[in-house]
Amino acid sequence: MAAVREWQNHRLTWGIMLGTAVFLEICAFYFQYGMDLYPCEMCVYQRFAVLVLGLAAGIMLVAPRNKGVRGAGYLLWISGAVYGLQYALQQIKNYADFNPFFSACNAFPVFPFGLPLHEWWPAMFFPTGMCGEDSWTFLSLNMANWMTIIFGIYILAFAVCVLSVVVGKLADR
């Protein structure tokens, strides 16, 4: 746990986290523009969650030893991961309940704080696909399954980091 606590003081750690978020967003663009797999409402919410995770890492990258900066990063980190997991699980439900004649999605997404991301950056955040359409798999898991795993890993990593700080503080007493 001491090693995990120490890693959080280094920019490389947060650079890796930022890199994973950027990689996931590049994958989203590839699926949309390279494979013609258009994002549904749930997909764009997960894209937003990954953007929040990248923002969290970017903030912590600035001053990893500063407790205030790290606290803000932690708050964004867990918020993004839980938000993304929520919509990945909803997407799995939509896959199970898929009806090609009725979409469970809204035509226009509603982002937190009323942010009109679909207007500001439509190439990334405007849903053009149908909720429940499930045409891609890898190792027998669909996109929502993979995103559930990915957001779960982000949540687990968050828990390990926070636990390492708490254990470290208790050991310092």
What span, in angstroms and rounded, lies between the C-alpha atoms of 47 and 146?
13
Name the CATH topology of 2-172: Bromodomain-like (1.20.1550)
pTM here is 0.86
pLDDT digits (tens, 9 = 90+) for 40-51: 888 899 999 999
Write down the pLDDT at residue 3. 67
Both structure tokens of 7: 């890693």
Q: Which two three-digit tokens encode residue 43?
A: 């997909």
pLDDT at 75: 93
Residues of the chain with pLDDT under 50: none
Q: Where are the domains of the chain?
A: 2-172
